[in-house]
């Protein structure tokens, strides 16, 4: 069932085969400000109405995706092989205008400088894949499914790989310990991911059974963002997630992006238009 997630997200976005693309293309795509709000409403409606059909499709994919993956693991790949992890990352749009209820309906995630990576832990190994499905690393980790002592289950994470820190920073959770959550709302995914990664204490530090630290990034409300120390690490920018958004491959108006130097102005504008955190 684990691999049902990766294929079902769809090949919604065409990406470069170059592993190290410019960071500006890592998270976001330009959209026009006149239609962003309207398309966001359409995405949410489609998400609600299509949930049952989506779940039914997920259940039918396990056998075909597993066979594809195994085909690529045995040395030479057959002609026409297609990585099941190609084009599975969720990509944002640029923040063109502050959405309605931005202070109360959105979650903010400061993003360090690095390269996006889909982290897949299964069968005692952990693999990292680029947006184009190219495998860059295979190692042992403390994630469920990803190491010697954690072979059972499987885990899929959306991460940023920092070459400077030699660390995977986790943006989002798709599946954890064989429990898929991609069709859950972002607010739940972030709560669940933070809780579960904190339970697996060894994944945050380098060790014999965890080659690279895997660290959950802070996901903040509008009222927590001003208190967050944005100087603790080199940031590329901030991702803004709509609380109700599901995880889906390709570009979505339910995830927005702004460079780090623009954040203070955005926060000031939001804080001036709201009285404070809800009771």
Question: What pLDDT is stored for residue 83 in this prediction?
Answer: 82
Rounded Cα gap, residues 52 and 56, in angstroms = 6
Kindly give, in sequence order, each residue whose CB lies less than 8 Å from that of residue 137, ignoring residues fewer than 6 positions away: 126, 127, 128, 212
98, 71, 97: which is closest to 82 by C-alpha?
71
Please report the pLDDT score of residue 64 as a whole number: 37
pLDDT at 48: 78
How far apart, in whole angstroms, are the C-alpha atoms of residue 277 and residue 162?
33
pLDDT at 2 over 50: no
The least confident of 49-63, 111-125, 153-167, 208-222 is 49-63
Q: Report pLDDT digits (tens) over 73-107.
A: 544 455 566 788 889 999 999 988 888 888 889 99
Give Dmax (Cα) for the chain: 61
pTM of the model: 0.79
CA gap 153, 34 in Å, rounded:
44
Each residue's pLDDT tens digit, 168-189: 999 999 999 888 999 899 999 9
Instruction: Please report, in angstroms and rounded to a whole number, the separation of the first and last CA atoms in the chain.
Output: 40
């Amino acid at each position: 069932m684990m691999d049902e997630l990766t294929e079902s997200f769809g090949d919604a976005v065409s990406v470069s085969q170059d592993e190290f693309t410019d960071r500006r293309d890592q998270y976001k795509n330009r959209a026009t400000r006149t239609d962003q709000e309207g398309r966001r409403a359409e995405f949410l409606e489609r998400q609600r109405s299509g949930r049952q059909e989506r779940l039914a499709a997920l259940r039918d994919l396990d056998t075909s995706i597993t066979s594809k993956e195994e085909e690529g693991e045995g040395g030479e790949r057959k002609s026409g092989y297609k990585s099941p992890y190609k084009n599975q990352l969720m990509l944002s749009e640029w923040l063109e205008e502050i959405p309605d209820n931005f202070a109360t309906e959105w979650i903010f995630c400061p993003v360090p400088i690095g390269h996006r990576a889909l982290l897949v832990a299964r069968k005692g190994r952990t693999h990292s894949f680029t947006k184009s499905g190219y495998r860059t690393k295979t190692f042992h980790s403390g994630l469920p499914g990803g190491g010697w002592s954690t072979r059972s289950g499987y885990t899929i994470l959306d991460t940023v790989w920092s070459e400077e820190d030699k660390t995977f920073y986790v943006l989002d959770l798709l599946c954890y310990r064989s429990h898929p959550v991609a069709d859950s709302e972002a607010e739940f995914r972030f709560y669940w991911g933070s809780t579960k990664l904190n339970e697996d204490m060894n994944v945050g530090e380098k060790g014999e059974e965890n080659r690279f630290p895997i660290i959950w990034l802070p996901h903040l409300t509008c009222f927590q963002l001003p208190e967050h120390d944005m100087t603790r690490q080199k940031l590329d920018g901030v991702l803004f997630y709509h609380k109700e958004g599901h995880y889906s491959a390709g570009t979505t108006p339910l995830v927005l992006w702004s460079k780090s130097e623009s954040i203070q102005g955005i926060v000031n504008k939001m804080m001036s238009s709201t009285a404070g955190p809800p009771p």
